[in-house]
Amino acid sequence: MMGRGRFDVLVLGAAILAGLLKVGGAAWAQSPTPSPVSDDAVNRVAKKLYCPVCENVPLDACDTPACVQWKEEIRAMLGEGRSEPEILAFFASRYGMRVLAVPPPRGIELGVWLIPAVGLPAAALWLALRLARWRRGTPAPETAAEVLPDEAAQALDRWARENW
């Protein structure tokens, strides 16, 4: 991976599928000195963040050097007594909305929620109205059954209808 002598996000994509990427031995190992903030507390926050280096992998499952660093940052912030919303807001302001697992329902990000929230009930309403109209309506004029050309066609027709 380091063959080209650089940190390549594209190649990373494949590696991160594994959930973990190890560069050397030490970079990804947990800090040996026990910290007052537990790994679990860090992971609880990290679960809600997505580091752009590993797209679509939650931060808690990603161990690239960048992600390890982010997790240490979370640990430090938790150690300073900062709350989870504060930490999330900090990461969002610094690295962009994309680091949040789900966009907050405001601004441009509203669209992701708005369309399902409005569109789906609207579609349901439309369906109900259609059904009501359909119920009142008269059946379509009976279309003449197609004349089947030969015995083989008739047999096929019967087989398809009776066996299925």
Partner 1 sequence: MRDGRRWGVWVGLGLAMAFLVLLGWAFIERGRTAPTRGPAPDFTLPLYEGYDGGLGISEFRLRDWRGRVVVLNFWASWCKPCEEEAALLESLWRSYRDRGVIFVGVDYLDAPSAALAYLRRFQITYPNGPDVGTRISRLYRITGVPETFVVDPKGEVVFYKAAPIRPGELEGILDSLLAPRN
Partner 2 sequence: MEAALGQGILMLAWGLGAAGTALAFWAGFRHRPVWGEVARRIALVMAPLLSGLVLLLVVALVQDDFRLVYVAQVSRRTQPLFLKVTALWGGQNGSLLFWSWLMSLFLFVAMARPRRIPGDLLPYVTGTLLLTQTFFLTLNLFFANPFEVFLAPPADGRGLNPLLRHPGMIVHPPLLYLGFVGFTVPYAFAVAALLAGRRDDLWLALIRRWALVAWLFLSLGLLVGARWAYDVLGWGGYWGWDPVENAALLPWLTATAFLHSVMVQERRGMLKVWSALLIILTYALVILGTFITRTGVIASVHAFARSAIGPPFLIYVALVLVGSLALLAWRWDLLRAENRIESWLSRETFFLLNNWLFLAIAFAIFWGTFYPMFSELLFNEKLTVGPPYYDQVTGPMFAALYGLMGVIPFVRWRRTPGVALGPALGSGALAATGMAALAWGLGVRQPWALLGFALCAFAGWGTLLDYGLGVRARRRATGEAWPVALARLVRRHPRRYGGYLVHLGVVLIGIGVVGSRFYPQETQRTLGLGESLTFGGYRLVYQGIRQYVPAAEPDVTVTEAWVQVYDAHGRPLASLYPYVLQYESGESLTPPALRATLKEDLYLLLSGWTEGGNRATFKVFINPLVSWIWIGGLVLILGTLVAVWPAPLPAPQRLPVGQPVREQPAVP
Contact 102, 59 (CB under 8 A): no
Q: What binding mask, one character per residue, do residues 119-158 give for partner 2 by CB under 8 A, x or -?
A: xx--xx--x---x--xx-xxxx-xx-xx--x-xxxxxxxx
User: 71, exposed or middle or buried, with CB in 10 Å at 0-12, 13-18, 19+?
Assistant: buried
Q: Tell me which of partner 1, partner 2, none is bound by residue 118, counting a contact when its beta carbon lies within the kind-specific cut-off of 5 to 8 angstroms.
A: none
Cβ-based neighbour number of residue 65 at 10 Å: 15
Write the DSSP assignment of 36-81 as a string of letters: SS-HHHHHHHHTTBB-TTSTTSBGGG--SHHHHHHHHHHHHHHHTT
Q: What binding mask, one character per residue, do residues 106-145 give for partner 1 by CB under 8 A, x or -?
A: ----------------------------------------
What secondary structure, in 3-state letters, does 125-160 show? HHHHHHHHHHHHCCCCCCCCCCCCCCHHHHHHHHHH
In this complex, which beta carbon is closest to partner 2, that of residue 81 or of residue 143?
Answer: 143
Q: What binding mask, one character per residue, do residues 46-85 give for partner 2 by CB under 8 A, x or -?
A: ----x-x-xxxxx--x-x----------------------
Residue 51 interacts with partner 1 (CB under 8 A): yes or no = yes
Q: How far is the CB of 117 from partner 1 (least distance, A)?
A: 19
Task: Output the six-digit token pair for 43.
Answer: 């992971």
Interface contacts to partner 1, rule CB under 8 A: 2, 4-10, 12, 23-24, 27, 51-53, 64-66, 68-70, 72-73, 76, 93-98
